[in-house]
Amino acid sequence: MESGMVSVDGWTAGSQVYFLTHLHADHLSGLTSKWSRGPLYCSRITARLFPIKFPGFDLSLLHIVEIGQWHSVSLLSPSSGSSTTVSFMAIDAQHCPGAVMYLFRGEFGCTLYTGDFRWESTSERAQTGRTMLLKALKDVQLDLLYLDNTYCNPTYCFPSREVAARQVLSIISSHPNHDVVIAVDTLGKENLLLYISRVLKTKIWVWPERLQTMHLLGFHDIFTTKTSVTRIRAVPRYSFNIETLEGLNTMRPTIGIMPSGLPWVPKAFRGMEKLSLESPPLLLHNRWHTGVTTSSTSSKTNGGSLISGRHDHYIYTVPYSDHSCFPELQKFVEFVKPINIKGIVSSSACNVDPLYHFGGICRIQQASELLCQRLRIKRSEKVGVIDMKSSFGCTSTMQLGRKKRKRQISRAAIHVSRVRLLRRERQGVKIVDTDPD
């Protein structure tokens, strides 16, 4: 989201204040340690984790937004050039630690930017968020909703994280003598690991940088970097594939667990999925609603046989997602009743366009809003904030047409090696790394 005043998760020049929803890399593109474009607002937890991602960042530019409290900042209106106040509130997004949505109010109207979020109506946290939103939107119309449309298609229907966590646990419990590797990212899915640790009364191995994150989040004595004390390891998702799992199985019997909202479907099934976006494949739904199943990845024989045997023994896909599934998105949109919606995930596929699926809810809203406006005009009252909303513009940053560059072998391999080592130093290491180079 961009405008002459406010950017959310956007880091190009031209805004007066910048908001960060959470610390996942795809929301940080353009942000560096040398940031100097203006004040950066984020949640308290994000601020605490911030120096890991951006060592040397000028922390005086960081402003903490307390959850559930109205804050305000005085900015210059791009249209009139005069001073104008923008109020904003952060609400728990229940995505990864520190993740928040932002609700803005100002001359442009009322805008809610969800960032990445999960809206589990059953959880207690969601109830808190619901109460906050209800209170904040009590007597104001939401003009524009920027929605996490990652899974904005009826195809995506998965259980709550609580249910998915139980599935993970049942997989682990049914393999009492196996090592277990669970694929995770640099941030997120901590609750799943905490749950496993608590129920099984075991520590969980993480890589050193992840341990540092866990400590900053206040989790002590639960995670370890010693492989000898536990059979359960959380490993970076990028180091998690059939090959590494097969490699591990030459040493010890090991299963892999991939917690993901994305269906990890064998390639042989992917065509089917594409053909039926409107009516999702029964197979997928059954997989997720009947509990756990195993899955294989890319069998390199394209489109041929179904699940190629051996992979099945190793990898389990569990629908544990930090993004809202479609029914949750629907409930959320019905709850906040926006006049307009925009997706925050740019996708070449049109099947996740929020307006396509939820436009009806907005149209109903617009119709009733129009009615209200007419009534107000009739009663000679001033028109509400929605008339100003257009000043809160959006510039799409979607980049089209990837250029193919010719690959040339022009630099010495030693340079590549150094770059990789430096990155490892900063960000972490591959887990099943056997080569010390």
Partner DNA sequence: GCGATCAGCT
Partner DNA sequence: CACAGCTGATCGC
Binding status of residue 430 toward DNA by CB under 7 A: yes
Neighbours of 224 (CB within 10 A): 17
The answer to whether 83 and 73 are in contact (CB under 8 A) is no
Sole binder of DNA in the list 76, 364, 367, 416 (CB under 7 A): 416
Contacts of 345 (CB under 8 A, 6+ apart): 148, 149, 150, 352
| 293 touches DNA by CB under 7 A | no
Instruction: Find the farthest-apart pair of alpha carbons in the chain and give their distance in angstroms, rounded.
Output: 79
The least CB distance from residue 336 to DNA, in Å, is 21
Q: How many other C-beta atoms lie within 10 A of the C-beta of residue 216?
A: 15
Selected binder of DNA within 124, 177, 403, 436 (CB under 7 A) = 403
DSSP letter at 237 equals G
Partners of 208 in the beta sheet?
Answer: none
Decide: is 246 part of the binding site for DNA (CB under 7 A).
Answer: no
Q: Are the C-beta atoms of residues 239 and 432 closer than 8 Å to each other? A: yes
Residue 30 contacts DNA per CB under 7 A: yes
Residue 67 DSSP code:
B
Cβ(123)–Cβ(160) below 8 Å: yes
| Spatial distance between the Cα atoms of 46 and 98, rounded to a whole number of angstroms | 5
Q: Which stretch binds DNA (CB under 7 A): 39-47, 165-173, 346-354, 378-386?
A: 346-354
Q: Is 189 in the site for DNA (CB under 7 A)?
A: no
Indicate whether 95 belongs to the interface with DNA (CB under 7 A).
yes
- Residues 163, 160, 29, 98, Cα dihedral to 10°: -90
Listed ranges 60-68, 69-77, 341-349, 377-385: which one lies at the site for DNA (CB under 7 A): 341-349
Please pick, from the candidates 48, 162, 185, 373, the single residue that binds DNA as defined by CB under 7 A. Answer: 185
- 107 lies in the site for DNA, by CB under 7 A: no
Cβ closest to DNA, residue 68 vs residue 154: 154
Q: What are phi and psi of 392, to 5 degrees?
A: -100, 70
Segment interacting with DNA, rule: CB under 7 A, options 19-27, 77-85, 198-206, 223-231: 19-27
Q: Which of 135, 215, 252, 270 binds DNA (CB under 7 A)?
A: 270
User: Alpha-carbon torsion 260, 126, 130, 25, what sign?
Assistant: negative
Asked if 300 and 282 count as a contact pair (C-beta separation under 8 A), the reply is no
Q: Which residues in 34-53 contact DNA (CB under 7 A)?
A: 34
Find the part of the chain contacting DNA (CB under 7 A) among 35-43, 166-174, 197-205, 416-424: 416-424
Count of chain residues binding DNA (CB under 7 A): 58
CB of 235 to DNA, least distance (A): 11
Which residues of this protein are in contact with DNA, per CB under 7 A?
24-26, 29-30, 32-34, 95, 116, 150, 185-188, 236-238, 241, 260-265, 270, 273, 297-298, 322-323, 345, 347-349, 352, 399, 402-411, 415-416, 418-420, 422-424, 427-428, 430
